[in-house]
């Protein structure tokens, strides 16, 4: 038997690898260049995955495992080379979370076996890198799962932040306390930066020479943890330095800090270098020791125990239809500003710049600037999803599709019952981007009006038949109803001008 470990499953205590003693069975890892060429990934994403794989290889070998590490053009080539040298009758792999990936792996093994004349097949086992299994979720969920109810169920079944059967502190969430904008004197500790070692430097050079990638020419040096030890160091640094004040400012956007107090642990989590349970328990330990307040800890727990798990399962249940969903019939191309970062919209320039420099932007930048603006413009959800997929270091199809197509674009009702769109009011309230922007966040029409404003009201007017009926948009439609014909005409004229500027690169 051979245990096939994929590049986003780098946990020695997970899946079939957890049941194998060192030296007992062969372990296969395959670097597939073709897979890395499918999209113009951010170079830091490719460096992260390939360096983490090579470090995991070395870790397993040091522990006594027999590791066959194949660098090949395709997965099929890598598996075929392995079969030629080992001729196992069975490969075992943990099911990938992205839709159809397990079946594609089975096809790879069948084709490789046929090409080498070896009798081999692939067995797929469950993925235990999440807190909630598919069977448990499906038994709980019924036909219409709701995130808030799922989160409370998760808290009760795990016992996290409970006082008996009730939530610690008497509330299930502390959103109202976690929406502050930091005063100028509030500082944010720098997150740790992990200096590339020899292995990572070799990967950086190889990625630069081999792949066509997308990023800022002046992108910052690679900074992400690529080993289990470094990932644990990143977790410890977050809990000690940034968790105590994570909660109040988790929705803020400020010019002076790209990271604020965010955990920055998603790249390591999505590779398997960290387990969600250990991150959650580290935060809860800090709360119980009096080192972090409950609102901050609960907000972090909700992201991992609630939202991350919920989106994974909704994606699993809604695919493949979710990937192509487009209930608002949006079909516009993504503006050049998302590629170049060149725009006079300060908030969009900053958020795109963060992605181009580091392959990262935090969740409010993703939802309320990058997705919000594209949705108001009418960008094709699949195109926006593709951009998120290749641009972010923590992005995988199972991550971006529910968050971008489902939530950010409101392309399907499976994730939310109303679109997460807003005018400039939200950006002005939760950021300081508007202070130095050439556009006026208080104006809706005219050449200097913030593009968000006219697009927002035009969006509501254009989709009134679908959105007014949701029952959750009554107040905003009341405001729309108060606009007379002349104001609406001016709004539509300004929205058309914004789209024209987005198309010709003059935004």
pLDDT tens digits, residue range 216-229?
Answer: 877 899 999 999 99
From first CA to last CA, the distance across the chain in angstroms is 57
pLDDT tens digits, residue range 77-88?
Answer: 999 999 998 888
pLDDT tens digits, residue range 290-325?
Answer: 999 999 999 999 999 999 999 999 999 999 999 999
pLDDT at 142: 84
Cα–Cα distances (Å) from 421 to 40, 244, 454, in that order, read: 28, 30, 12
Average per-residue pLDDT for the chain: 95
Residues 452, 442: Cα–Cα separation, whole Å: 10
Report yes or no: 358 and 220 within 8 Å, Cβ to Cβ: yes
Residues 388, 371: Cα–Cα separation, whole Å: 9
Residues 189, 260: Cα–Cα separation, whole Å: 8
Which stretches within 392-431 are classed as H helix? 397-400, 424-430
Q: How many CB atoms lie within 10 A of CB 297?
A: 29
Greater model confidence, 418 or 387: 387
Nearest Cα neighbor of 210 from 396, 34, 388, 30 is: 34
Report yes or no: 93 and 16 within 8 Å, Cβ to Cβ: yes
Q: How many CB atoms lie within 10 A of CB 417?
A: 11
Domain 336-504, what architecture? Orthogonal Bundle (1.10)
The whole model's pTM is what?
Answer: 0.95
pLDDT tens digits, residue range 184-227?
Answer: 889 999 999 999 999 999 999 999 999 999 998 778 999 999 99
Mean pLDDT of 441-445: 97
Residue 94 has pLDDT above 90, yes or no: yes
**Positive/negative CA dihedral, 15, 17, 21, 25:** positive
pLDDT tens digits, residue range 397-422?
Answer: 999 999 999 999 999 988 888 999 99
Domain residue spans of the chain: 2-125, 134-195+225-318, 336-504
pLDDT tens digits, residue range 96-130?
Answer: 999 999 999 999 999 999 998 888 999 999 999 99
Buried b (16+ CB within 10 A) or exposed e, 265-282: bbbbbbbbbbbbeebbeb
DSSP 342-367: --S-HHHHHHHHHHHHHS---HHIII
Cα–Cα distances (Å) from 258 to 126, 140, 262, 385, 388, in that order, read: 37, 38, 9, 22, 18
DSSP 3-56: EE--TT---TTSGGGGG--TTTSEEEEEEEHHHHTSS---HHHHHHHHHHHHHH
Q: Characterize the bridge pairing of strands 166-167 and 121-125.
A: unpaired
pLDDT at 88: 81
Sheet containing 26-32: give its strands across: 66-72, 26-32, 2-4, 90-94, 121-125
Residue 424 has pLDDT above 80, yes or no: yes
Residue corresponding to tokens 């300004």: 494
Strand partners, 338: none
Q: Name the percent of the chain in helix, strand, coil, to the closest 5.
A: 55, 10, 40
Listed in sequence order, the residues at least 6 apart from 135 whose beta carbon sits closer than 8 Å to its beta carbon are: none
Is residue 140 classed as helix, strand or coil in its secondary structure? helix
Write the DSSP symbol of residue 292.
Answer: S
CATH classification number, 2-125, choose in 3.20.20.70, 3.40.50.620, 3.90.550.10, 1.10.3860.10:
3.40.50.620
CATH classification number, 134-195+225-318, choose in 1.25.40.80, 2.30.30.140, 1.10.260.40, 1.10.357.10:
1.25.40.80
């Amino acid at each position: 038997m051979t245990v096939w470990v994929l590049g986003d499953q780098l946990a020695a205590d997970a899946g079939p690898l957890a049941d194998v003693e060192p030296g007992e069975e062969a372990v296969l890892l395959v670097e597939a260049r073709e897979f890395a060429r499918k999209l113009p990934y951010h170079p830091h994403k490719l460096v992260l995955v390939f360096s983490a794989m090579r470090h995991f290889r070395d870790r397993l070998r040091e522990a006594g495992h027999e590791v066959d590490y194949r660098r090949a053009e395709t997965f099929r080539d890598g598996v075929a080379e392995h079969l030629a040298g080992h001729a196992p009758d069975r490969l075992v792999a943990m099911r990938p979370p992205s839709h159809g990936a397990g079946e594609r792996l089975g096809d790879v093994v069948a084709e490789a076996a046929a090409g080498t004349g070896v009798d081999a097949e692939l067995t797929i086992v469950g993925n235990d890198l999440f807190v909630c299994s598919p069977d448990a979720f499906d038994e709980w969920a019924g036909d219409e799962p709701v995130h808030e109810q799922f989160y409370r169920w998760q808290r009760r079944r795990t016992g996290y932040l409970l006082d008996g059967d009730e939530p610690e502190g008497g509330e299930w969430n502390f959103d109202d306390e976690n929406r502050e904008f930091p005063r100028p004197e509030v500082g944010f500790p720098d997150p740790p930066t992990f200096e590339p070692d020899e292995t990572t430097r070799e990967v950086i050079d190889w990625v630069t020479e081999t792949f066509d990638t997308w990023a800022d020419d002046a992108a910052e040096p690679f900074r992400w943890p690529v080993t289990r030890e470094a990932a644990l160091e990143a977790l410890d640094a977050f809990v000690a330095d940034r968790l105590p004040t994570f909660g109040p400012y988790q929705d803020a956007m400020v010019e002076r800090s790209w990271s604020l107090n965010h955990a920055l642990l998603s790249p390591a989590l999505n590779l398997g270098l960290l387990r969600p349970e250990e991150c959650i328990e580290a935060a809860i330990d800090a709360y119980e020791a009096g080192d972090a307040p409950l609102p901050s800890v609960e907000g972090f727990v909700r992201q991992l125990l609630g939202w991350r798990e919920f989106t994974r399962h909704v994606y699993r249940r809604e695919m493949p239809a979710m990937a192509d969903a487009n209930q608002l019939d949006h079909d516009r191309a993504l503006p050049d500003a998302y590629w170049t970062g060149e725009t006079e919209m300060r908030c969009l320039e900053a958020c795109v710049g963060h992605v181009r420099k580091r392959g990262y932007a935090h969740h409010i930048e993703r939802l309320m600037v990058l997705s919000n603006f594209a949705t108001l413009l009418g960008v094709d959800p699949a195109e926006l999803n593709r951009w998120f997929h290749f641009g972010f270091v923590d992005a995988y199809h199972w991550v971006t599709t529910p968050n971008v197509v489902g939530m950010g674009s409101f392309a399907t009702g499976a994730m939310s019952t109303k679109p997460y769109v807003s005018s400039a009011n939200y950006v002005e309230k939760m950021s300081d981007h508007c202070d130095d922007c050439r556009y006026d966040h208080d104006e809706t029409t005219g050449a200097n009006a913030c593009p968000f404003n006219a697009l927002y009201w035009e969006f509501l007017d254009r989709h009134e038949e679908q959105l007014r009926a949701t029952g959750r948009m009554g107040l905003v439609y009341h405001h729309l109803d108060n606009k007379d014909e002349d104001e609406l005409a001016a709004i539509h004229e300004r929205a058309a001008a914004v789209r024209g500027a987005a198309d010709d690169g003059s935004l």
